[in-house]
A and B are shown apart, each in its own frame.
Chain A
Amino acid sequence: MNPFSSGTRLRDMIRAIRACKTAAEERAVVRKECAAIRAAINENDQDYRHRNLAKLMFIHMLGYPTHFGQMECLKLIASPGFPEKRIGYLGLMLLLDERQEVLMLVTNSVKQDLNHTNQYIVGLALCALGNICSAEMARDLAPEVERLLQFRDPNIRKKAALCSIRIIKKVPDLAENFINPVAALLKEKHHGVLITGIQLCTDLCKVSPEALEYFRKKCTDGLVRTLRDLVNSPYAPEYDIAGITDPFLHIRLLKLLRVLGQGDADASDAMNDILAQVATKTESNKNAGNAILYECVETIMSIEDNGGLRVLAINILGRFLSNRDNNIRYVALNMLMRAITVDAQAVQRHRATILECVKDSDASIRKRALELVYLLVNESNVKPLTKELVDYLEVSDQDFKGDLTAKICSIIEKFSPEKIWYIDQMLKVLTEAGNFVKDEVWHALVVVISNASDLHGYTVRALFRALQTTAEQESLVRVAVWCIGEYGDLLVNNAGMLNVEDPITVTESDAVDVVESAIKRHASDLTTKSMALIALLKLSSRFPSCSGRIKDIVVQHKGSLVLELQQRSLEFNSIIEKHQNIRSALVERMPVLDEASFGGRRASSLPNTVSTSNGTAVKLPNGVAKSSAAPLVDLLDLSDDVPAPSSSGGDFLQDLLGVDLAPATQSEGTSQAPKAGTDVLLDLLSIGSNPAQDNSVSTPDILSSAQDHKPAIASLDVLAAPSLTQASSSTASNMMDLLDGFAPAPPKPANNGPAYPSIVAFESSSLRLTFNFSKQPGNPQTTTISGTFTNLSSNVFTDFVFQAAVPKFLQLHLDPASGNSLPASGNGTITQSLKVTNSQHGKKPLVMRLRIAYKVDGKDVLEEGQINNFPRDL
């Protein structure tokens, strides 16, 4: 005999495992036991097979793998004795599930056991089959099970009935075979058989319309009678629970009646009386009685309309709702939610109570109640309901605030009667729970604010006040910073005061303080800080007296390790310092954001939220900005694999708000984002005035290169890494442009780089452009191109602007041109240097599209072309 398998008894093993003090000890014991069991399995040990399987089941419960024992179950099931089969079937149900192939091997044993002379063995097989049978087994064994529905012993009949439920759920085609035997079960007196038979009947009706029709006609009256007898039955100790005879049977009868009554007036009529009796006579002081009332209400609500019964049912729910027992209140909320489709008015009557449940100490009840309140909100009650919810937001648990905030925001958006109310409520939410507000929600708020031109002053002042009391809510800070940047002047001069407002005195310096504290606040993230920098830039123009101070704040970030901030700081500093002439145009107020396109975009990305389209969207024409930007955008759009530019409100917003490119907040595909960003900055830069030509050309590059760097929120050593050299160099020179305004002389072609022939890149009747190429040693991807423009005509070209665009695999940087007027007849040139980085170096040649605009005698001339004759290997 195997020295291992004779070892420990089940009881001893359990003791040994329980005595373990650490998980490691437990693992050791289990490993030893498993080794012994495996050895016994290998030796085909029979004497201890059932004990080993019992041990395995215990080990399985502890979470250890026990698949190697699966075949032992099969062997035990195949052995002749009851004890072996009993443990074998238990193991089968415990260690296997219906998806395992091994299960197919057991079909034959089960079939034999279903025909066994020992009824208890038949019972074991039925139970196992009911719990784990697969569709294949169901097909194979359905005839046996069907036959057992008429077995002499009721305990087998009831097991066969439940087993049949599993079979028809697995294979609905088999349903019709069960209709006749089930009709017989419904007439039984044995409660177990009746309960299981009714359940089987209910499930048959659900899978088979014929069955439903049959039982509706033949059995409705009988079932009503059975229920009546049960309700009126004298005390029966065997089935009594809390003074009610067999609530389980009650409930199943009510469920089946519901299925039969639904959609059939006659059947519904037949059960009206007994439903009324159950609804009025059932004791509701114990759980069992309430469980029956629950089922009764559900049935009344589902069957064909009977006004009187519905009133009864709604009253029961009202009683449930005011019950002190949390369980009862919970189910009441649940049922009211379903009842809302049947009788919304009746549910509205309980609004106050439901609202109280939102504030319950029990998370399950709160959650249910909140869902229900959400369904109850409509145009007429939105104001008081929102007030209640917002008030509660103040005191609610931290872990409930997320859900609550989302629901409140959704309600505000959906039902807001007017803009000022919307803004007020959103501000309250931001103040209480700004950290829980989703990005798209505060983005929507900004769009609404932008469109409410008469409320700009009111809003910015309200935000300023809110920020005085709490500065810890990120999204509040963001919205406030944005508004102060945009409407800072209205904050200071109290413009557009509403009657409801108290005047406040805010100095320009106070406004800057607020933005400064947002930037200095430790918890502020990149988006907030970036937005604050933009706001400061805007304020520097709105508040000239603070310009110096703002410059000091901005410049503090020039050493920031976050590239985004560093770059903004440098750029903005340069704008403040050196570009006074264009600054006011640059930082003009944002054009009104397009509500419709923002809403549409949101609606497509968030199917559940309804966009705010209350109030009329004032659409200011921002044509100047747009039209001057458009050519550039076109130019940049060289590659045709890029989706069409979408300058929807959302894109604008996102980019203007922060040029916020943190991947998490980017809802669009990344391929689109850079373009949108460009779009926006172009808008910004070109609003109103003709930007100086050197800036207008290099701007897109600045922005797009900034975006390219974004994923590697670059620390300095990353920038220094060889793979990014070309990137960093282009960034650096971008910055140089802005810092120094006008370009240094184009870099001299390096002597030691490989030489490339010069080309005539473009030639028309009036203009010639030649390119000279050079490369820095060690950086073969990047080519410095020196372009020389020559005027072939006899007229002077003024306002000369050269624009170029490249496909996506190239990166282009233009340095400022040497001038903007080109003397006639070749008596002088304009030079401009370009830097192109080819990410597909060696695989694809350079290609470039260009557009040259200039004026001849005050008339605009536009020339366009594509350069395909670059030397190979650039």
Chain B
Amino acid sequence: IVHKLIKLQIHFVLLISRQGKVRLTKWYSPYSQKERSKVIRELSGIVLNRGPKLCNFVEWRGHRVVYRRYAGLYFCMCIDEADNELEVLDIIHHFVEILDRYFGSVCELDLIFNFHKAYYILDEVLIAGEFQESSKRTIIRLLSTHDSMVEMAKEEATSIGNMIAQVTK
């Protein structure tokens, strides 16, 4: 997969479990479906097999993949070769801290059953492969506003449903 990718800070984000299961994938550069599964296969092979004390960077196809393990989950971000790997480590940590606050001590199951929420959170941290917001509080506040809007819509739907049900009784 040789790409002439537009220069982005982050080309893609991957979350892979210790067992090699994909928990989240976000592609900011264009990769076809076929390429995506190839990337995932290759990278999980490389990243999962690295020892615990080694550095958090692997070189891969002219790019650099920054990864960090949290419990059984590997958070990976692919960046350009000349970019700041250390900062990307902090971005990963920032994302994980927000997940943790949002779910309240996050675990892998949260990310499986609420995978869509993990994506919503990521969308508040990164857009177009660029960093968006350094305040965790701002992000959490935005997310809860979104959630409450969804809740309100649900309640409205049920109450309308009830009203219709009553009328048609």
| Partner-B contacts on A (CB < 8 A) | 11, 14, 18, 54, 57-58, 61-63, 65, 81-83, 86-87, 90, 93-94, 97-99, 120, 123, 126-127, 130-131, 155, 158-159, 162-163, 165-166, 169, 191-192, 195-196, 199, 238-239, 241, 246-249, 251-252, 287-288, 290-291, 294-295, 298, 326-331, 334, 338, 361-365, 367-368
* Chain B residues positioned under 8 Å from A158 (CB to CB): 132-133
* Chain A residues positioned under 8 Å from B142 (CB to CB): 123, 155
How long is the Cα–Cα vector from A159 to B85 in the complex, in angstroms? 24
In this complex, the member of B27, B85, B112, B130 whose beta carbon has the largest number of chain A beta carbons within 10 angstroms is B130
B22 CB, min distance to chain A CBs, angstroms: 6
How long is the Cα–Cα vector from A368 to B112 in the complex, in angstroms? 37
A443 CB, min distance to chain B CBs, angstroms: 30
A825 CB, min distance to chain B CBs, angstroms: 76
B13 CB, min distance to chain A CBs, angstroms: 11
The binding surface of chain A is classed by DSSP as helix
B134 and A191: CB pair below 8 A? Answer: yes
Given contacts A290-B86, A291-B84, A338-B82, contact A155 B56 (CB under 8 A): no
* Chain B residues positioned under 8 Å from A58 (CB to CB): 115
Kindly state whether residue B106 has any CB partner on chain A within 8 Å. no
Kindly state whether residue B107 has any CB partner on chain A within 8 Å. no
How long is the Cα–Cα vector from A331 to B87 in the complex, in angstroms? 11
Q: Which residue of B lies closest to A338 (CB)?
A: B82
A868 CB, min distance to chain B CBs, angstroms: 54
How long is the Cα–Cα vector from A238 to B59 in the complex, in angstroms? 34
8 smallest CB-CB distances across A and B, nearest first, come from A326-B55, A291-B86, A162-B127, A130-B127, A130-B128, A192-B133, A166-B128, A362-B54
How long is the Cα–Cα vector from A246 to B90 in the complex, in angstroms? 11
* Chain A residues positioned under 8 Å from B145 (CB to CB): 120
Given contacts A120-B149, A191-B135, contact A61 B115 (CB under 8 A): yes
Kindly state whether residue B167 has any CB partner on chain A within 8 Å. no
How long is the Cα–Cα vector from A35 to B127 in the complex, in angstroms? 34
B134 and A165: CB pair below 8 A? Answer: no
Given contacts A81-B153, A90-B123, A249-B134, 8 further A-B contacts (CB under 8 A): A90-B116, A93-B119, A99-B30, A155-B142, A162-B127, A165-B130, A248-B87, A248-B131
B22 and A327: CB pair below 8 A? Answer: no
Kindly state whether residue B57 has any CB partner on chain A within 8 Å. yes
A294 and B86: CB pair below 8 A? Answer: yes
Given contacts A165-B128, A327-B55, contact A11 B27 (CB under 8 A): no
Q: Which residue of A lies closest to B22 (CB)?
A: A61
* Chain B residues positioned under 8 Å from A331 (CB to CB): 85-86
How long is the Cα–Cα vector from A166 to B131 in the complex, in angstroms? 13
Given contacts A99-B30, A127-B123, A330-B57, contact A162 B87 (CB under 8 A): no
B128 and A162: CB pair below 8 A? Answer: yes
Count of A-B contacts with CB under 8 A?
Answer: 162
B130 and A199: CB pair below 8 A? Answer: yes
* Chain A residues positioned under 8 Å from B115 (CB to CB): 57-58, 61
Given contacts A58-B115, A120-B149, contact A365 B55 (CB under 8 A): yes
The answer, among A63, A287, A328, for a CB contact under 8 Å with B90, is: A287
How long is the Cα–Cα vector from A873 to B127 in the complex, in angstroms? 75
Kindly state whether residue B48 has any CB partner on chain A within 8 Å. no
Interface pairs (22), CB distance under 8 Å: A14-B113, A61-B22, A61-B24, A82-B149, A82-B153, A83-B150, A90-B119, A94-B119, A162-B130, A169-B6, A192-B138, A238-B135, A246-B134, A290-B86, A291-B84, A291-B89, A295-B84, A295-B87, A326-B55, A338-B82, A364-B57, A368-B59
A688 CB, min distance to chain B CBs, angstroms: 54
Kindly state whether residue B39 has any CB partner on chain A within 8 Å. no
A123 CB, min distance to chain B CBs, angstroms: 8
A86 and B31: CB pair below 8 A? Answer: no
B51 CB, min distance to chain A CBs, angstroms: 8
* Chain A residues positioned under 8 Å from B120 (CB to CB): 86, 90
Fill in one digit per residue for B53-89: 1 if any A CB lies within 8 Å of its CB, else 0.
Answer: 1111111000000000000000000000010111101
The answer, among B54, B90, B133, for a CB contact under 8 Å with A291, is: B90
A353 CB, min distance to chain B CBs, angstroms: 16
A196 and B132: CB pair below 8 A? Answer: yes
How long is the Cα–Cα vector from A326 to B6 in the complex, in angstroms? 29
A192 and B127: CB pair below 8 A? Answer: no
A493 CB, min distance to chain B CBs, angstroms: 53
Kindly state whether residue B137 has any CB partner on chain A within 8 Å. yes
B109 CB, min distance to chain A CBs, angstroms: 9
How long is the Cα–Cα vector from A192 to B85 in the complex, in angstroms? 21
* Chain B residues positioned under 8 Å from A162 (CB to CB): 127-128, 130, 132
How long is the Cα–Cα vector from A123 to B143 in the complex, in angstroms? 12
* Chain B residues positioned under 8 Å from A192 (CB to CB): 132-135, 138
A291 and B135: CB pair below 8 A? Answer: no
Fill in one digit per residue for B6-21: 1 if any A CB lies within 8 Å of its CB, else 0.
Answer: 1100000000000000
* Chain A residues positioned under 8 Å from B138 (CB to CB): 155, 192, 238
Given contacts A61-B25, A90-B120, contact A288 B90 (CB under 8 A): yes
B136 CB, min distance to chain A CBs, angstroms: 8
How long is the Cα–Cα vector from A572 to B154 in the complex, in angstroms? 92
A158 CB, min distance to chain B CBs, angstroms: 6
Given contacts A87-B116, A162-B130, contact A362 B55 (CB under 8 A): yes
Kindly state whether residue B28 has any CB partner on chain A within 8 Å. yes
How long is the Cα–Cα vector from A120 to B120 in the complex, in angstroms? 13
Kindly state whether residue B37 has any CB partner on chain A within 8 Å. yes
The answer, among A83, A90, A298, A330, for a CB contact under 8 Å with B149, is: A83
A11 and B113: CB pair below 8 A? Answer: yes
Q: Which residue of B lies closest to A237 (CB)?
A: B137
Kindly state whether residue B101 has any CB partner on chain A within 8 Å. no
Given contacts A61-B115, A165-B130, contact A364 B149 (CB under 8 A): no
B87 and A291: CB pair below 8 A? Answer: yes
* Chain B residues positioned under 8 Å from A238 (CB to CB): 135-138
How long is the Cα–Cα vector from A159 to B146 in the complex, in angstroms? 16
A327 and B89: CB pair below 8 A? Answer: yes
How long is the Cα–Cα vector from A330 to B56 in the complex, in angstroms? 9
Q: In chain B, residues 25-56, which have Cβ atoms closer than 8 Å to a Cβ of chain A?
A: 25-28, 30-33, 37, 53-56
B132 and A159: CB pair below 8 A? Answer: yes
B8 CB, min distance to chain A CBs, angstroms: 8
A82 and B128: CB pair below 8 A? Answer: no
B89 and A287: CB pair below 8 A? Answer: yes
B132 CB, min distance to chain A CBs, angstroms: 6
Given contacts A131-B128, A291-B89, A295-B87, contact A239 B55 (CB under 8 A): no
How long is the Cα–Cα vector from A784 to B32 in the complex, in angstroms? 61
* Chain B residues positioned under 8 Å from A123 (CB to CB): 142
How long is the Cα–Cα vector from A162 to B132 in the complex, in angstroms? 7
In this complex, the member of A62, A196, A329, A365 whose beta carbon has the largest number of chain B beta carbons within 10 angstroms is A196
* Chain B residues positioned under 8 Å from A246 (CB to CB): 134
How long is the Cα–Cα vector from A481 to B51 in the complex, in angstroms? 43
B49 CB, min distance to chain A CBs, angstroms: 10
How long is the Cα–Cα vector from A105 to B103 in the complex, in angstroms? 35
A364 and B90: CB pair below 8 A? Answer: no
* Chain A residues positioned under 8 Å from B33 (CB to CB): 65
* Chain A residues positioned under 8 Å from B113 (CB to CB): 11, 14
B86 and A287: CB pair below 8 A? Answer: yes
Q: Which residue of A lies closest to B31 (CB)?
A: A97
How long is the Cα–Cα vector from A195 to B24 in the complex, in angstroms? 25
How long is the Cα–Cα vector from A334 to B57 in the complex, in angstroms? 12
Q: Which residue of B lies closest to A286 (CB)?
A: B90
Q: Which residue of A lies closest to B88 (CB)?
A: A291
How long is the Cα–Cα vector from A472 to B114 in the complex, in angstroms? 57
How long is the Cα–Cα vector from A65 to B131 in the complex, in angstroms? 30
B66 CB, min distance to chain A CBs, angstroms: 9
A294 and B84: CB pair below 8 A? Answer: yes
A316 CB, min distance to chain B CBs, angstroms: 13
* Chain A residues positioned under 8 Å from B153 (CB to CB): 81-83
A92 CB, min distance to chain B CBs, angstroms: 12
A148 CB, min distance to chain B CBs, angstroms: 13
Given contacts A87-B116, A120-B145, A192-B135, contact A364 B59 (CB under 8 A): yes
Q: Which residue of B lies closest to A288 (CB)?
A: B90
* Chain A residues positioned under 8 Å from B22 (CB to CB): 61-63
